[in-house]
Structure 1
Amino acid sequence: MHRLTLFYDGQCPLCVKEMTRLRHADNEHCLALINIHSPACSAYPEINKQRAAQILHGITEDGKLLLGLDATCQAWKVVGRGRWIGLSRWPIIRPITDRFYLLFARHRYTLSKWLTGKSRCDNDRCNK
């Protein structure tokens, strides 16, 4: 049983890079990483694909839905590397980081183009 299932945008180069980093850090196989554009996502009818395309979704092993940075922080915590990103959940910082995350999510394809040279991936592959 996975401790966290993440639903990510497999067409976003930056999102795919983050999931690749998480996958490599997940030595205990605690994460299930599901591309929302893949058939595997249909096994989770509780996940609205349109909403999941707007904000990262995660489901804990006890069924709790996590969104955005809450899901990201939990993922890094599960793989044992959540110390620094956990600071983004501090009450005084949280409103700022949540707004920044939503801004990033809204413009992720443009940011991906600027940072990686490619705005979208094909089948989880982000080669130029």
Structure 2
Amino acid sequence: MIIFYDGYCPLCIAEMRHLAKRDKHNKLTLVDIQSPDFSIRYPALDWHALNARIHGLRDDGTLITGLDVTHEAWKAVGVGWLYAPLRWPLIRHVADAFYNVFAKHRYTISYLLTGKKRQCDRCIPGEPNEK
């Protein structure tokens, strides 16, 4: 599975590092949508949609989003059971609503939880960054 993540988001980066450490069988390909060559490598994908929330591309070509990506990614590295409750029918809708709030405010939430600001070399002027 390919995971498209926001390389400017400190929490997103941390999760991708944890996934990479556990991915002993190379089941995941982690792709930073903020990399300069992203649109060249993946011209058919809508960068704005990918930037709004995490996306994953299954081996069969199916594009998935949000906590479905998180669950499948952790399942691929052997600990999907930790995230399985987030996909249970009654919890799923609440968890997805919380994820949508997180995705929209991920830079602020990342800063509040980690003390790290948006990490980028080419941020929009006036936006928080790590320069």
Question: Number of residue pairs matched?
Answer: 123
Q: Check whether the contact 2:117–2:130 (CA below 8 A) recurs between aligned residues.
A: no
Residue range with higher mean Cα deviation, 6-15 or 46-55: 46-55
TM superposition shift of 1:119: 2.0
Give, in whole Å, the separation in 1 of the partners of 2:90 and 2:112: 30
CA deviation profile, 1:73-119 (whole Å, cap 9, x unmatched): 11001111110201111111100000000011111100111111122
Give the match for residue 15 of structure 1: 12
| 2:50 counterpart (44, 49, 52) | 52
What amino acid maps onto 1:25 in structure 2?
R
Alignment of 1:102 with 2:84, yes or no, is no
TM superposition shift of 1:18: 0.4
Q: Which runs of structure 1 show a deviation greater than 2 angstroms over 4 or more consecutive aligned residues?
A: 39-42
Give, in whole Å, the separation in 1 of the partners of 2:23 and 2:37: 20
Q: Point out where structure 2 has 5 or more consecutive residues left out of the alignment.
A: 122-128
What amino acid maps onto 2:83 in structure 1?
I
What amino acid maps onto 1:117 in structure 2?
G
The within-5 A match list for 1:23-42 is 23-42=20-39
| 1:92 counterpart (66, 74, 90) | 90
Q: Given the superposition, is the C-alpha separation of residues 45 and 33 from structure 1 closer, same or farther in structure 2, using an over 3 Å criterion?
A: same
Give the match for residue 71 of structure 2: 73
TM superposition shift of 1:122: 2.8
TM superposition shift of 1:40: 4.6
Larger radius of gyration: 2
Q: Point out where structure 1 has 5 or more consecutive residues left out of the alignment.
A: none
Q: Secondary structure at the match of 2:107?
A: helix
The two structures have a TM-score, normalised by structure 1, of: 0.89
Q: Check whether the contact 2:118–2:130 (CA below 8 A) recurs between aligned residues.
A: no
Give, in whole Å, the separation in 2 of the partners of 1:74 and 1:84: 11
Q: Secondary structure at the match of 1:33?
A: strand
Give, in whole Å, the separation in 2 of the partners of 1:119 and 1:57: 22
Instruction: Output the aligned Cα RMSD.
Output: 1.8
